[in-house]
């Protein structure tokens, strides 16, 4: 089962699609969660997820705005999509009946 940050990273990377790379993922995580995301957490989690086969990474193009340095591109694998869906389903299941989830699930206790 994924961890919370792993789920966030996979979801953001999947949302960014072809434009998923370190800086873009980090900005998206920070703006969605309104929490700081350190590079250490980001890149070590990317490595861990790649080792588990949930992500695939490769070095992309170098752009002038990056000082001629390459991006580390990220793509979510089918296994990663499955793991994220499992996590999401588990969160939805466990949230049924929770007071803060009532308006979203449409259920009352």
Partner 1 sequence: MNGIPWQLIGFASKFLERDERDAVLGDLQETNENTWRGFIDVFGLVFRRQAGLWKDPRPWLAGFVLALPCSYLLTTVSISVSCTYQRLVNHKVYGWHWPTGHEGYPLLLCHIFLLIAWSWCGGYIVGSISRRTLWASAILSVIPSVLSLHMYPSQSLPRLCLFLFLLPGIFGVRWGVRHAHISFRAASLLALTMTVLMICAWSNNALWILNWALILPAWYLVAAAWRSSRRAERGRDPWAMS
Q: Which residues of this chain interact with partner 1, rule CB under 8 A?
A: 21-23, 26-27, 38-40, 43-44, 59, 62-63, 65-67, 69-72
Judging by DSSP bridges, how do beta strands 69-76 and 55-63 pair with one another? antiparallel
- Contacts for 46 with CB less than 8 Å, ≥ 6 apart: 9, 22, 55, 57, 72, 74
**What minimum distance in Å lies between the beta carbon of 18 and partner 1?**
17
**What minimum distance in Å lies between the beta carbon of 9 and partner 1?**
15
Q: Which is nearer to partner 1, 24 or 101 (CB)?
A: 24
Q: Are 55 and 13 in contact (CB under 8 A)?
A: yes
Phi-psi sector, 40: left (phi>0), alpha (psi -120 to 50), beta: alpha
Q: Which is nearer to partner 1, 26 or 84 (CB)?
A: 26
Token pair 């299941």: residue: 93
**What minimum distance in Å lies between the beta carbon of 71 and partner 1?**
6
Q: Which is nearer to partner 1, 41 or 101 (CB)?
A: 41
Q: Which is nearer to partner 1, 39 or 92 (CB)?
A: 39
């Amino acid at each position: 089962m994924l961890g919370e940050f792993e789920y966030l990273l996979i979801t953001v990377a999947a949302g960014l699609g072809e434009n998923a790379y370190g800086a873009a993922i980090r900005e998206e995580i920070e703006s969605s969660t309104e929490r700081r995301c350190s590079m250490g957490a980001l890149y070590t989690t990317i490595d861990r997820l790649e080792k588990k086969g949930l992500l695939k990474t490769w070095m992309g193009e170098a752009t002038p705005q990056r000082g001629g340095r390459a991006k580390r591109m990220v793509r979510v694998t089918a296994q990663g999509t499955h793991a994220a869906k499992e996590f999401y389903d588990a969160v939805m299941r466990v949230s049924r009946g929770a007071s803060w989830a009532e308006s979203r699930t449409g259920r009352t206790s």
